[in-house]
Structure 1
């Protein structure tokens, strides 16, 4: 298994600037330092983290998405999955991010760190906003959702790290449910330790 680490650029934004053109502190591999992950956040404060994931059986095919949200002290806040019907992997990946943002907004989270394995979504240059026409409405929805947050950070991570959200996405497809929430106590400790 690959070690935890960023696989691409990290985008950060503080409210008051252009949400479509966040600053870029840099990129790299290996464990990101606290300064890298939390740069741009208020002094002494760390944002909540969430990991979205999408799974498609066939492309297009039956699709499911999953999201896990962590408190700043690494306590799990929410573990949710849902089936989203038939679709492509690209649409599912954008919907997973949007679903996670909706959950964060419902929890009144103001500072968020988004980490995921989607090469399309999490290495997207939000400043250029260049996506295929059939994804444009999803990107516009996400940009509108991001306006809710005082600060946000977007980082691309290896798929092996996203085990909990990926599990929920697959389970949602199998059980064909519109909303599936799993109590944090039911998540194996071995899965949680990978994300910390």
Structure 2
């Protein structure tokens, strides 16, 4: 279930996943926000514009942080199956200038929380958000501007 801190009172945990049918291709994001009791507060399944797998992961990171702010969250634990995303946030740097356009606003938003954690979970433990991100790709709605 991740770090015990995420389940302390006042914390919210967000599981996230981004998916792409190509590199780049049709893409979607999925995330689940849970309170400190592990109860789902909000689930998101959204189509985004054409993206690579890495871009989809960065876009879902930005969206989940925006969602946390919209809901008034001050302590957030982010958990996803993209080890690249987790490592980039820990280092505050990516080797790709293209991904830096997504990293900068993520880091700015993270700084507005009282506390945050980000951790990796194996794909098998992140199945719910994987389904949400893939549902968004399959959905016939027009893509978001994200």
Q: TM-score by structure 2 length?
A: 0.89
- Unpaired segments of 5 or more residues in structure 1? 6-31, 180-196
- What is the CA-CA distance between 1:47 and the residue it aligns to? 1.1
Q: How does 1:114-125 map to 2 (within 5 A)?
A: 114-124=78-88
Is the CA contact (8 Å cut-off) linking 1:83 and 1:176 kept in structure 2?
no
Deviations 1:49-108 (A, max 9, x none): 001101111111100000100010111000111111211111111001111111111001
Aligned residues: 143
Give 2:90's aligned residue: 126
- 3-state SS of the aligned residue for 2:88? coil
Q: Whose helix proportion is higher, 1 or 2?
A: 2
Is the CA contact (8 Å cut-off) linking 2:89 and 2:107 kept in structure 1?
no
Aligned equivalents of 1:128 and 1:110: distance in 2? Answer: 20
Is the CA contact (8 Å cut-off) linking 2:92 and 2:107 kept in structure 1?
no
The CA RMSD measured in Å over matched residues stands at: 2.1
Larger radius of gyration: 1
Give 1:85's aligned residue: 49
- Unpaired segments of 5 or more residues in structure 2? none
**Is 1:170 aligned to residue 134 of structure 2?**
yes
**Gap change, CA 1:112 and 1:128, over 3 Å in 2:** closer
Q: TM-score by structure 1 length?
A: 0.67
